[in-house]
């Protein structure tokens, strides 16, 4: 993106380069069924399933790099679920275009990480080794730490070496 600085044209880097980045691939299936009875009662059912290979996710970087995140392939993610809707027209006046409608909807969605990429495994190992230091005869684990990507604080009773 072009920038002006002291009335001179310049440029600014927007993101860190990642040469090992691969295209995210998504394979989707969606099956649905619509049924209507006497134009007053209808049911809709949908089942969906998608598999995302090489799912993209931003990983947090230390601010001294000049960038806050870098895009990384984190693995394979399965998303599946269903939607069930029922609709009933309780009262209808077609001349005045008015009606009373009763609707119910039930949904379920589940995301599952099926496979973790080598880059994400290395990232997790680095985070675990950084935060599994023994201090004051207590083991510090990720459960004891406000996740460092979102917070700059660590519980005061622990100090990391």
pLDDT tens per residue, range 12-43: 788 888 898 999 999 999 999 999 999 899 99
CB proximity list for 58: less than 8 A, separation 6 or greater? 69, 70, 71, 72
pLDDT at 92: 92
**CA triple 118-124-129, angle to 5 deg:** 125
Between 36 and 131, where is the model more confident?
A: 36
3-class DSSP state of 5:
strand
Most confidently modeled range among 5-14, 115-124, 150-159: 115-124
C-alpha distances out from residue 116 to 54, 57, 124, Å: 9, 12, 10
Per-residue pLDDT for 75 more than 80?
yes
Per-residue pLDDT for 152 more than 70?
no
Between 142 and 74, where is the model more confident?
A: 74
Per-residue pLDDT for 93 more than 60?
yes
pLDDT, averaged across the chain: 80
Instruction: Identify whether the C-beta of residue 46 lies closer than 8 Å to the C-beta of residue 85.
Output: no
- Please list the residues that pair with 91 across neighbouring strands: 100
C-alpha distances out from residue 61 to 5, 71, 73, 114, 148, Å: 27, 10, 15, 25, 11
């Amino acid at each position: 993106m072009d920038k002006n600085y002291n009335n001179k044209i310049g440029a600014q880097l927007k993101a860190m380069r990642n040469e090992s980045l691969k295209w995210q691939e998504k394979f989707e299936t969606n099956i649905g069924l619509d049924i209507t009875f006497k134009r007053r009662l209808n049911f809709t059912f949908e089942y969906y399933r998608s598999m995302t290979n090489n799912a993209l996710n931003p990983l947090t970087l230390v601010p001294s790099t000049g960038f806050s995140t870098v895009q990384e392939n984190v693995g394979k993610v399965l998303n599946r679920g269903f939607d069930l809707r029922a609709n009933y027209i309780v009262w209808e006046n077609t001349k005045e275009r008015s009606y009373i409608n009763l609707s119910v909807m039930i949904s379920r969605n589940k995301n599952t990480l099926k496979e973790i990429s080598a880059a994400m495994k290395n990232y997790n190992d680095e985070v675990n080794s950084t935060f599994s230091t023994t201090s004051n005869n207590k083991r510090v684990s990720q459960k004891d730490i406000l996740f460092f990507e979102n917070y700059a604080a660590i519980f005061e009773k622990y100090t990391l070496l």
